[in-house]
Structure 1
């Protein structure tokens, strides 16, 4: 069985692929958007992560006839009432400009004390089959925001985020200082996709 991962974000796609591969699902070939005939990218105009994940997954299933998995994710900062949220990728006004997004968020949080810097990465993954069956799952990765970027790996807000697991261990590494394997094992996206594994296996 072929499963399409509907993402144009190369870094996210590699992460999704690695998580799916690690799950050891037998009899499944995972395809990227570059592996299928091109179709018009849908407008992600939903109000929630679930809305946007479903928009992308539905479009993939409709245009390719394949079981399609799509993710929408971002960071929710407690001090900002859950924002940037669904606006995470374009928080600075320019879609996908990680540096500008990070700088703006740091500026907005500049005078917020450590005790109020709680945040969580959230990933909602949608799986849509060609017959219209839909599954939506959510993964949440709690932690806190740093006051300056830390680390060279990952993408998005990873350099600003210290996972709760790192605080508990006393190592205090940012998500951008974790190896891909370490990150995938505990990340929001990994937690969400893990819930889809039995669903995918049931379709094989």
Structure 2
């Protein structure tokens, strides 16, 4: 079965396919090649639905859309839905990461609590809509580490690691990330919905 993922980001397509492969090997995630809708929602759910609706309309297939970002407690949940544009309209991942680190430069470790949020919308061609959420708790490092992942991964330290052996998501293998990420957590919630397609 083919499902379109409403993104032009090849990292997300590959990540979704890896997540899906273990649970639903019959499901093929294909990239969206249509026009990019204006994401003018103010919540992850609103933006995910905007993208999924556009992809379902354009392709005639069931469509998934992920809207995700990093939410920092001391910043009131920001960057949140503005994660991709935190440093401006260019979607510059390196500039976003640098700005966030600069904004937190004098914040002590206990107060650097954050979580990754992944909100996934599923829209079917017949108009059914579902939204699921996955959160990955952790905190932010004071400097980037590791060459893996993308976006804010090099500064995000997931909860649950042994003291003294903590790694950022940038230090994790792709398999380790896929097993515990916010998208993987949201996908667990999504599986029963996909089974009914």
What is the TM-score normalised by the length of structure 1?
0.93
How far is 1:25 from its partner?
4.2
Q: Output the CA distance in 2 between the equivalents of 1:66 and 1:147.
A: 43
Query: Matched residue of 1:165: which SS?
Result: coil
Highest relative contact order (Cα 8 Å, sep 6+), 1 or 2? 1
Unaligned runs of 5+ in 1: none
After alignment, is 90-99 or 114-123 more displaced? 90-99
Q: Output the CA distance in 2 between the equivalents of 1:104 and 1:136.
A: 30
1:114–1:65 distance in 2 versus 1, CA, 3 Å: same
How far is 1:172 from its partner?
0.5
Q: Output the CA distance in 1 between the equivalents of 2:155 and 2:60.
A: 39
Encode CA deviations 1:25-49: one digit per residue, 9 max, x unaligned. 43x332212xxxx432101111000
Q: Where does residue 111 of structure 1 map in the other structure?
A: 106
Unaligned runs of 5+ in 2: none
Q: Where does residue 174 of structure 1 map in the other structure?
A: 168
Q: Output the CA distance in 1 between the equivalents of 2:53 and 2:182.
A: 22
How far is 1:15 from its partner?
0.6
Task: State whether residues 25 and 201 of structure 1, in contact with CA within 8 Å, keep that contact through their aligned partners in structure 2.
Answer: no
Q: Where does residue 4 of structure 2 map in the other structure?
A: 4
